[in-house]
Structure 1
Amino acid sequence: MTASAARAAVAVRAATVLTPSLSSLDQLADVLLSDGDPPPAQRDWVGLLDDPDVHRLDAEDAARVRRVTRSSADPARTAAVVAVRCAREAGLAASELAGCALIVAGNNLAMDYQARTVLGEVQGTRRVRPTHAVAYQDTDTVGVVSELLGLRAEGWTVGAASASGAVAVIQAMRLLRAGDAQRCVVVAPAAELSSTETRALSTSGALHPGPEPVCRPFDDHREGFVPGPAAAAVVLELAGQTAQEPLALLLGAGQRLDARHGAAPDSAGQTEAMRAAMLAAGIEPADVGYLSAHATGSRVGDECEARAIAQVFGVGAGPLVNSTKAFLGHALTAAGLVELIATVVQLRHGRVHGNPNTSSPMPDVGGRLAGRTSSRLDRPVALTNSFGFSGINTSIALTTETIQTRDTR
């Protein structure tokens, strides 16, 4: 790969996000930037996926989605909805879709479906259908989306825990820059937890223990993350490939490991991921106007990331810092892609959402921690961080305007 190809910007041609409370980028912007209270935590998709006001598909596409996903688990159904909508918004013809690669973000997506199936078999209340042989696997989503869109280039799933969405985007950037695909569809299904995984996360201290949980990123009184189911999709292509104006440009990315397993984070790996992203993008810390933090509201994780951001940008200067999880909750394996799209929305509006639940800010958070309401963005360049269990650290640099990058290697 040539140096110029490696540094080529990747355009976000279209993007779609779906949660139990919103189903368009305009609604996402309204939730993030209206300075109202965050919507209450919602975990239930029941009935929503068949609601035309939610899936926003025309009658023909809606019927095809129902037919293709009739034996699939809910994560694949959410992926089908956002993928079809995103492809339609991208305006791609069937011949163009055929040349698209597909990367599905997430691992162990259908845990609740699997748990209910096993329990039903053990109790004798649920017959295991032959279709379960496919439906329980994450690759079912690859098949569902590729069939619906007619995708015939490369395709696979990417598992990186909560960093899955970001790692999928990074892999797509590499694929496009190498010339191995004309375009790439990246899809993050809504992951689901069974009661077993929920209890494990709760007893580990990662999950908020309260009956009415509130996500408080970078707050002294934070108690853990709050699940927030969401699905998302983007269509990516090399910048300048078409005359269509992109939603944003992905400039570069960094990914680093901590060289250890388990849930405990390491600020060194996070620091190196951010620096690697800026190096790949050809930008300096002073160019970054906004940092979308991974911050989940956990005791250990937020402290570690606050320290990493300070090591890169210092304290009290540099980019505005917030966490979209205060509004949407933690989308688990979809979080990296959902928050990338949220970053695009904020860049395009020239404003950064606040940290509405952060009433007692932690001291020494790196950068400039945003207040409780939105702020004007003075530099249209952002980093978005996404980290996963077992030491997976990612950061992606992006912009909505043409900027002069420097060779910082």
Structure 2
Amino acid sequence: MKPFAAASIEAPLGQEMPPAQRNLYDRHSLLGLQAAAEAWTQANLPATAMAPDRAAVAWGTGLGGSNSLQQSYTEVLTKESPRVHPYTVVRVMSNSAASHLSMRYQLRAAMLTLSNACASSAQALGEALLLMRQGRADLVLAGGSEAMLNPGSVAAWQAMGVMAPPEVDDPSQSCRPFDDQRRGLVLGEGAAALVLETASHARARGASALAVLAGYGHSVDAVHLSRPDADGQERALRAALADAGLTPDQIGYVNAHGTATEVGDAVEAESLARVFGPRGVPVSATKALHGHLIGAGGALELVACVQALRRGRLPVSAHVRQCQLRGITDLIEGTPRGLAPDHAIVSNSFAFGGSNVSLVLKRA
């Protein structure tokens, strides 16, 4: 079957670099560099941070340089005289993307690398918020990147039994969060970056905010390595609302973690019902369209939430045909819905290992 790509990256990454420099990068770092460049440019910032000692980077990734690791294993296992790339270690290390970003933009206040599986980049954004609240930085480049579409990584996910088989008629509909016939996730790769600033820093340079990151909730299940827990998810949701100073009735939309696994979606629907009541808040899962970016997923989904907030339109949960979970959550289907001007948005990211993150966005 021909591979299906919802949003393929056509331009070669890092082509503007001399080969000696590009050799230092794994694909996940190159993706991060591209996403960061777009965010930095949109924020109308100079080439490097104006006050490097007050600027930081917070980045999330699940596996780091897994492509470079795959390359080294292939070399050792298939060649009589293997020649492992001399930069394999610095390509593979989880903090490689954050390191490259700190050097590119002279971000010297702090460098945080979060690797909590599927919650990694969402937690990086939350910890970036805390950095600024603590007075340790005025600006943080935050987000995440992931590139694990290689044989070893894909085989590992398939061995867990959580990967969706391709839909024969339409592979683009293989991922169906909250559908009764959901059969698992579809792996994606990519990166997303956001520039976070304190209000005073943004005002001083005349910048206009796209949205306000108002709340961060983090909890740990401490129950099971891969089975989600509604109690832990509920704690993260309530913590995020409390941090933002909001009540459940002030939330107009939740971007669900929604991986399209049988147990995962049901547990998340339960935790949402506990916090918002039966059918208490509009919900959709954008992974149906962009796949599961693992460590980069939370940042990408927060970007989707920023756009929903700015446009006042809430995305549908795609590919749903039948859904018994409608009885405990208000799933957005068919056409996008409007968002009331005074409503905020929540984005959920829940991870293997029991790490739960909820982020709250408000209009600027």
Deviation at 1:293, TM superposition (A): 0.4
Deviation at 1:120, TM superposition (A): 1.2
Read off the aligned partner of 1:220 and give its amino acid letter.
D
Cα 1:182–1:361 change in 2 (3 A) is: same
Deviation at 1:240, TM superposition (A): 3.8
1:109-153 deviation digits (Å, cap 9, x = unpaired): 222321222111222275212222311212221222122212222
CA distance in 1, matches of 2:255, 2:49: 36
Alignment match of 1:346 (pick from 267, 288, 308): 308
Between the two proteins, what is the percent identity of the paired residues? 31
Cα 1:388–1:66 change in 2 (3 A) is: farther
Alignment match of 1:96 (pick from 37, 50, 55): 50
Partner of 1:172: 128
Q: Which moved more, 1:331-340 or 1:239-248?
A: 239-248
Whether 1:264 and 2:227 are equivalent positions in the alignment is yes
Is contact 2:131–2:137 with CA below 8 Å preserved after alignment? yes
Read off the aligned partner of 2:134 and give its amino acid letter.
A
Whether 1:218 and 2:173 are equivalent positions in the alignment is no
CA distance in 2, matches of 1:186, 1:302: 27
Whether 1:80 and 2:37 are equivalent positions in the alignment is no
Cα 1:297–1:92 change in 2 (3 A) is: same
Cα 1:326–1:66 change in 2 (3 A) is: farther
Over aligned residues, Cα RMSD in angstroms?
2.2
Partner of 1:277: 240
Read off the aligned partner of 2:208 and give its amino acid letter.
E
Task: State how 1:14-33 maps to structure 2 within 5 Å.
Answer: none
Partner of 2:277: 314
Deviation at 1:166, TM superposition (A): 0.6
Q: Which moved more, 1:189-198 or 1:240-249?
A: 189-198
CA distance in 2, matches of 1:250, 1:43: 27
CA distance in 2, matches of 1:183, 1:131: 31
Q: Which moved more, 1:206-215 or 1:234-243?
A: 206-215
Whether 1:303 and 2:258 are equivalent positions in the alignment is no
Is contact 1:41–1:328 with CA below 8 Å preserved after alignment? no
Partner of 1:324: 286
Q: Which moved more, 1:89-98 or 1:332-341?
A: 89-98
Task: State how 1:7-406 maps to structure 2 within 5 Å.
Answer: 41-42=5-6, 48-50=11-13, 63-64=16-17, 68-93=21-46, 94-96=48-50, 98=52, 99-124=54-79, 127-210=83-166, 212=171, 214-243=174-203, 244-316=207-279, 318-364=280-326, 366-378=328-340, 379-401=342-364
TM-score by length of 1: 0.80
Is contact 1:68–1:148 with CA below 8 Å preserved after alignment? no
Read off the aligned partner of 2:259 and give its amino acid letter.
T
Cα 1:291–1:365 change in 2 (3 A) is: farther
CA distance in 2, matches of 1:43, 1:373: 21
**Structure 1 gap ranges (5+):** 1-39, 56-61, 402-409
CA distance in 1, matches of 2:157, 2:23: 31
Read off the aligned partner of 1:77 and give its amino acid letter.
L
Cα 1:170–1:240 change in 2 (3 A) is: same
Task: Please state whether the residue corresponding to 1:104 is helix, strand or coil.
Answer: strand
Task: Please state whether the residue corresponding to 1:233 is helix, strand or coil.
Answer: strand
Read off the aligned partner of 2:139 and give its amino acid letter.
R
Deviation at 1:70, TM superposition (A): 3.0
Read off the aligned partner of 1:120 and give its amino acid letter.
E
Is contact 1:82–1:233 with CA below 8 Å preserved after alignment? yes
TM-score by length of 2: 0.90
CA distance in 1, matches of 2:214, 2:44: 23
Is contact 2:269–2:325 with CA below 8 Å preserved after alignment? no
Q: Which moved more, 1:77-86 or 1:206-215?
A: 206-215
CA distance in 1, matches of 2:157, 2:327: 25
CA distance in 2, matches of 1:224, 1:315: 25
Cα 1:185–1:95 change in 2 (3 A) is: closer
Deviation at 1:356, TM superposition (A): 2.5
Cα 1:201–1:173 change in 2 (3 A) is: same
